Structure 1
Amino acid sequence: MSAIGKLIDTIKQKLASRFLRNLGWLGLSELFIRISRLAATIVLARLLSKYDYGLAALVLTTNEFVNVFTQNGIWDKLIQSDESDLKQLCQTAYCLNWIVCGALFITQCLISVPVAWFYKDNQIILPICIMALVYLMIPISLVQASLTQRENRLHVMALANGLQVSIDNILTIILAFCGLGMWAIVLPKVIVGPVWVIVHYFNNPWRPSRQFTLVNWQEIVRFGRSVLGVKLMNTLRNNLDYLIAGRFLGVEALGIYYFAFNAGLGISMSAINAVDSALFPHLCAARSDPAQFKERYFSSLKTIAWIVFPLVLLQSFFAPIYVPIIFGQKWLPAIPILILICLSAIPRPFANAASRVLWALDKPDWDLRWNMFFTTFFAIALLIGVNWNIIGVAAAVLIAHAIALPLYSLWVTRNISKVMLKPSEVQP
């Protein structure tokens, strides 16, 4: 066979991989999302003040901390569970979701006042409460969405996410031109909530019964508490820099940082999230076969490297050129911050892949211990970095991720066989 023929066969085999097909669907969705988000970011950068950006960052950060409790492991348990337990777990999960999301709606409305007091700005109370309305929509389709991911039908997830975020960004552009300030960022996230619900509801046949049940809730909670702990640590880390910058450096400085984060890391995180969504069900499907499981994991690491390294390095290199041209001269101070934060994306997907290995092998508690350590380390780095203003915060983000995440990825990679075959002999 000729070299060209072998190359064609190799490409066909790669395209036949369900993981890569799913990654392709999610990547296509993220492409549409990024195009619309880029347009929204350009418009917001030119029409909103740094103060408006800062207010929006405070509202969205508060929502992120409450919203993380919707990522409580119920979804992930339905993906990871055995087929024989699935029917009962779905009904229990549906009931649990309504309890959790109802409580979150009330909680977010209540905490809006102390948050406004902490940041000394009452303008954020109403938008925080308005954003809480999304929690009353989520439970309608949350079980269907998790079953869709379990079945590896990620084209449905790609459609739901792509439509939701793209419409969000288009509405943001329209409202920004209407002069709504921070509301141009906040309101669309509530308006598009039903889009995600409708897509998942009509693309999965599962429907809840009228019976309220919490049978086997302990099994969901046992798995979910560690997953929720990991998500809490992730959310805390993802927003610690906002909290510290807003508190110690002011709302305007936070606005510069928030712009740099979204114009820089936002693009890279889209690719990282696409890989993350495709990888977990891909690994869970092979967890009963150690050889296949390891092959899928190591193959995914190569795919991640081919995607992340070129994307991040190109974006960082061209940042001094495209930022003033696309976003305007007023954002020139954000360029070094953008580059530092963007470079911190390189080790993130490898650490995420290591986490998904432990989740698939029913060891989310090990991942939780690691995340508690890393969050503490990250917080200390930020508190040191804030002494050098916003640039110090960005440098702390890069240094913390560059030191800690490769060590974690290496530990999981070197011990994957022991975790699968003789977990009692390995201590995290």
Structure 2
Amino acid sequence: MLKARLQSILSGQFIRNMGWLGSAELLNRVLRLGTTVTLARLLTPYDYGLAAVILTTQEIANVFTLRSGIGAKLIQAKEEDLDILCNTAYWMNWILCIGMFTLQCLVAFPVGWFYGNNAVVLPICIIALNYLLLPTFAVQGSLIFRENRLKIPAICNAVQSGLMNALTITFALMGMGFWSIVLPILLTVPVWVIINRAHHPWRPTGKFSLERWQELANFAANFLGVELLTKIRANVDYLLVGRFLGIEALGMYYFAFNAGLGISLSVIQSFTWSIYPHLCEVKDNLAAMRQRYFKSLKTIAMIIVPMVLLQASLAPVYVPIVFSQKWVSAIPILILICLSAIPRPFAEAASMLLQSVDKGRLDLYWNAIFTGLFIACILGAMQFGIYGVAVSVLVVHVLAIPLFSLWAKNYVFRFSRPRLAPSK
């Protein structure tokens, strides 16, 4: 009976998609481990700190391009609307990306002033060049997700990861410092262009058009708000630690985050992104959606929870052996932040559930509340140093996320039953 239940859980398109994305991310992390070991031995905490400032700026700006919500609307759109919306999305992406390239170059100067270090200005401008490649494959990528062919983005991720890690190690051995982390990000974006365009035939009509742009913009507004708040939460601790505790403290904290939560978080995001097209397929059938949602949660829990606990428990063993003794003081931070990964996939799944039934505004409200709470906790913990910050990250996630997940589930499957299409 147990075997039959496991076979039932570990089957179907969702599991195949999750398997492809998860396998690609696992390969990414195995390769990244070698890179992290190399960087930990060749780079100083100061180099890590500079890289953290540059990548944090880039991560926040990426929300307005990679995760703007335009692609999510194409995944959810009705078939009869798809041609018009795809063409409009293509031109909207160009407008957004050119705008973000210009804005990031301008923002680089106040960022350098904020940290009192102009060494970050040029790399922030250079890494912004990747925005100018995004519109050439963004629509194709969204349509591949819509068609549930998640094998393709998994291949993209694996190929880009292999190339990026090879370049990072090469540049680090050449003594390029923080540039060894920054440049490979830009140089490997063409992988996504080539593979996505090769695996989907869609091309723009050639005629500039913004027909029905309001429909895309209205959907994207809530999605964009959620993604922006998520990115702020993911990076605000870096910004505050670097500003108030110094670049070297930020380097130590950034190392602990990437050697701990960075591994788990990438796998979590790969798995939870499989949920969105999985739920959108049955968004008009509440009973089917409920079944898919809870089955997805069980599968994710079976994988994520043991993985995180194992990683956290082994941190005192592998950090000094793999990364060298100079990072031993980061072990308590690594363990605390790593454990905060356990509730995160359930919040991600709840957000995907609300988005799939056009309740993105409620997801936005929750993220605004949670972000405010998160920032307040980080600021309060700053007086206790980076260890206090790590404790606050764990506590706020463990206490707040289960409440949101429970509320979202009840809203969609119990309280809103008359407003959502029931199963026939």
TM superposition score category, shorter chain reference? over 0.9
| Alignment pair present for 1:140 and 2:146 | no
Task: Return the offset for 1:209.
Answer: 0.8
- 1:342 maps to 338
| Alignment pair present for 1:194 and 2:190 | yes
Alignment of 1:3-402 (within 5 A): 7=3, 12-70=7-65, 71-402=67-398
- CA–CA distance in structure 2, aligned partners of residues 205 and 51 of structure 1: 46
- CA–CA distance in structure 1, aligned partners of residues 374 and 26 of structure 2: 31
Give me the identity figure in percent: 52
Task: Return the offset for 1:421.
Answer: 2.5
Task: Return the offset for 1:412.
Answer: 1.1
Q: Could you tell me which amino acid in structure 2 is paired with residue 131 of structure 1?
A: I
- CA–CA distance in structure 2, aligned partners of residues 311 and 319 of structure 1: 12
Task: Return the offset for 1:416.
Answer: 2.1
TM-score between the two structures when normalised by the length of structure 1: 0.96
Deviation track 1:287-330 (CA, whole Å, cap 9, x = no partner) reads: 11111100000101101110111011011101000000000000
- CA–CA distance in structure 2, aligned partners of residues 412 and 263 of structure 1: 31
Deviation track 1:166-224 (CA, whole Å, cap 9, x = no partner) reads: 21111101110110000000000010010111111110111111111111111111110
Q: Could you tell me which amino acid in structure 2 is paired with residue 21 of structure 1?
A: R
- Alignment partner of 1:259: what SS? helix
Q: Could you tell me which amino acid in structure 1 is paired with residue 247 of structure 2?
A: V
Deviation track 1:70-101 (CA, whole Å, cap 9, x = no partner) reads: 11110100001111111100000000000000
Task: Return the offset for 1:20.
Answer: 0.4
> Do 2:9 and 2:299's aligned partners in 1 also have CA atoms closer than 8 Å?
no
- Alignment partner of 1:362: what SS? coil
Task: Return the offset for 1:10.
Answer: 5.0
- CA–CA distance in structure 1, aligned partners of residues 347 and 5 of structure 2: 28
Task: Return the offset for 1:275.
Answer: 1.1
Unpaired runs of 5+ residues, structure 1, are none
> Do 1:290 and 1:420's aligned partners in 2 also have CA atoms closer than 8 Å?
no
- CA–CA distance in structure 2, aligned partners of residues 16 and 313 of structure 1: 25
> Do 2:88 and 2:212's aligned partners in 1 also have CA atoms closer than 8 Å?
yes
Task: Return the offset for 1:372.
Answer: 0.3
Task: Return the offset for 1:28.
Answer: 1.2
- Alignment partner of 1:76: what SS? helix
Q: For residues 210 and 419 of structure 1, do their structure 2 counterparts lie closer, same or farther at Cα, with a shift above 3 Å needed?
A: farther
> Do 2:347 and 2:405's aligned partners in 1 also have CA atoms closer than 8 Å?
yes
Task: Return the offset for 1:405.
Answer: 0.6
> Do 1:361 and 1:420's aligned partners in 2 also have CA atoms closer than 8 Å?
no
Q: Could you tell me which amino acid in structure 2 is paired with residue 148 of structure 1?
A: I
> Do 1:30 and 1:162's aligned partners in 2 also have CA atoms closer than 8 Å?
yes
Deviation track 1:108-158 (CA, whole Å, cap 9, x = no partner) reads: 111111100010001001100110000000000000000000000000010
- CA–CA distance in structure 1, aligned partners of residues 7 and 298 of structure 2: 17
- CA–CA distance in structure 2, aligned partners of residues 344 and 152 of structure 1: 30
TM-score between the two structures when normalised by the length of structure 2: 0.97
Unpaired runs of 5+ residues, structure 2, are none
- CA–CA distance in structure 2, aligned partners of residues 162 and 225 of structure 1: 31
Deviation track 1:256-294 (CA, whole Å, cap 9, x = no partner) reads: 000000000011112201112211000000111111100
Q: Could you tell me which amino acid in structure 1 is paired with residue 49 of structure 2?
A: G
- Alignment partner of 1:421: what SS? coil
Deviation track 1:385-409 (CA, whole Å, cap 9, x = no partner) reads: 1110000111111011111111000
- Alignment partner of 2:27: what SS? helix
- How many residue pairs end up in the alignment? 419
Task: Return the offset for 1:420.
Answer: 4.9
